[in-house]
Amino acid sequence: MNEVLVADGLRKSYGDVEALSGVSLSVAEGEVFGLIGPNGAGKTTLIRTLTGTTTPDGGSASVLDGHPTDVDRQRLGLLPQDFRPAGRLTARELVAYYAGLYDDARDPDDVLDDVGLADASETWYENLSGGQQRRACIALTLVNDPDVLFLDEPTTGIDPAGRRALWSLIDDLADRGTTVFLTSHSMEEVERLADRVGLLNEGRLVTVGRPAQLVSEHGGESRLVVRTDGDVDLESLALPASLSGEVTDDGIVVYGVGPRQISAAVDAFDDAGVVYESLVWKQPGLEEVYLSLTGEQFEGARPAAAAAIGGDR
Ligand SMILES: Nc1ncnc2c1ncn2[C@@H]1O[C@H](COP(=O)(O)OP(=O)(O)OP(=O)(O)O)[C@@H](O)[C@H]1O
């Protein structure tokens, strides 16, 4: 498959801060690539080097087989994280203005329709809600019908329905062959959209893979998170041998609970007379991958030195 984005050993420092410490990756034509990582990991810096808006200190980048600064701008779309267009233009005037920058642009009304802003097209940008403003910014990246689209946290501030509408727009773009490189702090968004995901931490690409592959490699086990009313004696729980339980601050987490073991695990709580406030079955997802590889903690994480019972692990 044709690789349209290639980073090879990219390095970038700002003073003493090493924002990128040798990042290499490639993205194929028509792929949606999701870049995740903590604040300050280097995600925006990577987008800036790939789009030619900053010069790396080392390594190289290519976009559509050319140097990032030489690529035909008609073929690229970029939504920066902190983009603020003129406030006293209507959404339609803004999109029309940006359309005028290209030789061959889409109809502004079609673009506004795509991002769900047809009804607000005559509203000044500064009078749009935060989520509508973000949609207008996304519209500006679509007027030139780009082959490669960079979206730096595209759905920040957009309400749930608007986010879903934009996800399906991104799906449609990808189906039509647009390559999308996006960053997000929403693991749900990345899991939903990305063909492949890269996790950046402290300027290094920690892992790259398909979401399901990363979840199976790093996501840990399915588990039952039980909040109890008071302390529970783990010894009193007759869990099936394949499961293991650990005491947490507010209850017990039972690990290794697949769909078929849920009822047996719940029975063990009932048989032991445990009063529980809530009982949630959780399958690992990208969030668990993120948290486990960045070393952060999350609810139901296996405590390092907790008591465990049952199972043979
Ligand atoms: N222009 C700049 N001048 C100085 N330091 C910068 C500059 N741009 C980025 N940095 C630093 O480089 C590091 C990486 O920043 P970057 O914005 O790429 O991270 P990020 O992963 O996009 O973060 P976030 O999720 O918060 O948007 C941070 O420590 C940041 O403070």
For atom 17 of ligand 1, the residue with the nearest CA is 44
What is the interface pTM, i.e. ipTM, of the complex? 0.98
Tokens of 114: 């795509």
Distance 20 CA to ligand 1 centre (A): 10
Report helix, strand or coil for 263.
helix
Write the pLDDT tens digit of every residue in 37-78: 999 999 999 999 999 999 999 999 999 999 999 999 999 999
Strands 58-63 and 32-36: unpaired
In angstroms, the CA 279 to CA 277 distance is 7
DSSP 8-class letter at 50: H
Residue 30 gets which letter from DSSP? T
**C-alpha angle with apex 148: 145 to 153, nearest 5 degrees?**
100
Strands 17-28 and 3-14: antiparallel
Give the tens place of pLDDT for each residue, 129-174.
988 999 999 999 999 999 999 999 999 888 898 899 889 889 989 9
Angle at which helix 91-99 crosses helix 130-142, to 10 degrees, equals 20
Task: Name the residue ranges covered by the structural domains of the chain.
Answer: 3-209, 218-309
Atom 12 in ligand 1: which residue has the minimum CA distance? 19
Token digits for 130? 């935060």
- Kindly give the distance from the C-alpha atom of residue 35 to the centroid of ligand 1, in angstroms, as a whole number: 14
Rg (CA), the chain: 24
- C-alpha 168 to ligand 1 mean position (Å): 29
Instruction: For residue 133, report the distance from its CA to the centre of ligand 1, in Å.
Output: 23
Which of 211-225, 267-281, 287-301 has the lowest average pLDDT?
287-301
Sequence-separated (6 or more) residues with CB below 8 Å from residue 131? 157, 158, 159, 162
* Amino acid letter for position 188: E
The fold of the 3-209 domain, in CATH, is Rossmann fold (3.40.50)
Pocket of ligand 1 (CB under 6 A): 14, 17, 19, 37, 39-45, 81
Question: CATH classification of 218-309, choosing from 3.40.50, 1.10.3470, 3.30.70, 1.10.720?
Answer: 3.30.70
